[in-house]
Structure 1
Amino acid sequence: MKQKNIHTSQYFNLEGSTIYVSGPLNIYNSSGFLHDAETFFRSNPGTGFSLNLSGVTRLDSAGALALHSLQKTAQQHNITLNIEDTTEEISNKLELFRPVENKTVAPGKKEPLFYRLGDSAVHIFNEYIVTFFYLVSDILFWSVKDVFNSKQRRRGEFLNQAVSIGVNALPIVASMAFIIGLVLALQSSSQLRNFGANIYIVDLTVIAMMAEMGPLITAILVAGRSGSAIAAEIATMKVTSELDALKTMGLNPLRFVVIPKIYGSLITLPFLTILASISGIAGGALAAYLYLDITPEIFFNRMPEALYQKDILTGLIKSIVFALIIVVTGAFFGFKVEEGAEGVGRSTTSSVVAAITLVIIADSILGLMFY
């Protein structure tokens, strides 16, 4: 090839504004080629050249990367470099070994406060509230249907759940209700004594325990004790794929796992509430005897005058509503778990907090309705 060089190199020749590369360009000579080319570009900044590859006999991955790197080097020296006269094979290799460009994503514009609040509200509504009510509807449907379809119920599971949720919770519920009834009467006795209204300690204790404190104490203790167990059991079953195994066997996990707990809680929580109210009244009677000189005989004779059927029904209705809330909340957070053991712990904690919160809200609503 006739050379009209203004720059000499063992790797390429320059004729006019065209750089001719000849011979192989591979791993053995690509570094030297880049070194000579960068030296040439440094001495000729701000110009334009064409890179002719018609004379390249062999190109490997190192050579292809060297050519791509050469274009970036030319840009650094404000040189425009156009590759021309490439064979189909060389063009394919250049395209195959083209470096992946790192695309930096510009930081997004911060959305306004009310937009972010609205987006969070929509997410919470769709992710929690809507899903929660879907779960409630499914549970109510299967709870009613399985009452009349005994073949679908697990034999003996209702009794197991009644013992687990209700009977085993009796000692802690009765003892705590007794202490709260005692403290309630004790704190009220000093004020009633100032007005000579000692006998009204009976009305205060009986009505408070039967209509308000008895159901609420029972629900909070059961939510902390049994509600957490329900959430942990279902979450563990989901993490260990036991729920998927039930689906594989053609069983509805909701029907198989949750419905027996609904039956057990609906039956046992009203009885627990009554026993908690009785324990609280006994604690109030003890405080009245010790601090107001009201004998147990006077206390219990006064009870029929202070206690109305409405107060008893209020406590029982609240206990049924609270039982549904506790089981549904535990099941909801159990089914929503998505991670491993850490997720089980978080769902259990969330279920207890949510159940107690919903119980208190429901108690306030029912209190306004009945009074």
Structure 2
Amino acid sequence: MEGILPEKESEVGEEVRSMVGVQMKLAKIRKELEDMRTNIETAKDEVKGLWNTAAALRADLEKEKADLTALKDKVHHATVSVSSLQEELRKTARELSVVQQRTEAAKMPVELQQATQETQRAKAKARSACDEVTKASEEADRAKADVNIVQLKQEAVSREILAVKASEEIAVASANALQEYKEEGEIDPQADRRSDKSMMVPLEDYDALNKRAKEAEDRAKKRVMEAVEKIKEAKEGEVRSLDKLHQLTKQIDERREALREAHEKSITAQENKLTMENELRKRRAKHGQHYTAGDADLAIPDVCLLNGACSFDAAGSSASHTQGGDLGRADTIAATAAAEPKARKSFFPRSIAAMFMNRKKTHSK
């Protein structure tokens, strides 16, 4: 009996120590589980903040898309105006070539040749201004490509947010597994006392789950930081693109103004040329030098640059030019004399004037 009692006491002592060890481990597990829950809540708050930032960035992107659409419309109107102006310049070039040929055939005075050269120089300046407008349009296209790159970066940030959400779900699943393990340990503590081997396997699983949860948390934090950095980079790229678009718009306005001035110089040179032709006709008529039928064919046509139909309307311009070409020498002189006192119409059409007014209103806002 005395030998049996010490053995029972030793067994009871071992069981008590085992229970104490299990309770300490469970307390440690509870503490780690609470820490993990706190970290998960923090990660959720960070993801919510990231979602709010992404929503704000999407709103900004929609606004920039609307601005880009307006800029596309303005560029389209400018392109149409440039094409109309190029058509007018081609017509003027053809008329100038005819004038030059007939001038050489009729042996015009030196003053008329100088006026022709001045007209050619003005035409060259107008062509140079057209080339500059074309280059500005190409630069605007490159700026639009930069805006598309910003949009692609926004999509990449959205994918990163989805990855962070997936990592959060993995961490939550790991925490749930730990919670189930804790509940099993509290419900059936006798099973842990029966076998040391059955108790070691769950602890290894716990270590593995704990390691996976920490790794998932680290990955989630890292991806959140990377997503925030990418959002900052996308915002900076967007600001640079907007600055570049503003500069390009300013350059297009300046080059369009230069083109208008060059065309006005061309019109002035043509007016001087027509004045010299009228003076030459008056001198010939005064000295009795009348044109024959062959000379009438060599007479210089009245170029339609002072007529109101010489606007960007191609149909009206063609009709006026055809009527002017069919006039005889006397009708041409009369039409030129009647056209001289009239005020010139505006160089640009109403659509371009409206576009300038809209741009001024936008800058004033």
Note whether the superposition's TM-score is higher than 0.5. Answer: no
What TM-score bracket applies, with the shorter chain setting the length?
Answer: under 0.3
Normalized per residue, which structure has more strand?
A: 1
TM normalised by structure 1 equals 0.22
- Structure 2 length-normalised TM: 0.22
Highest RCO, 1 vs 2 (Cα 8 Å, sep ≥ 6): 2
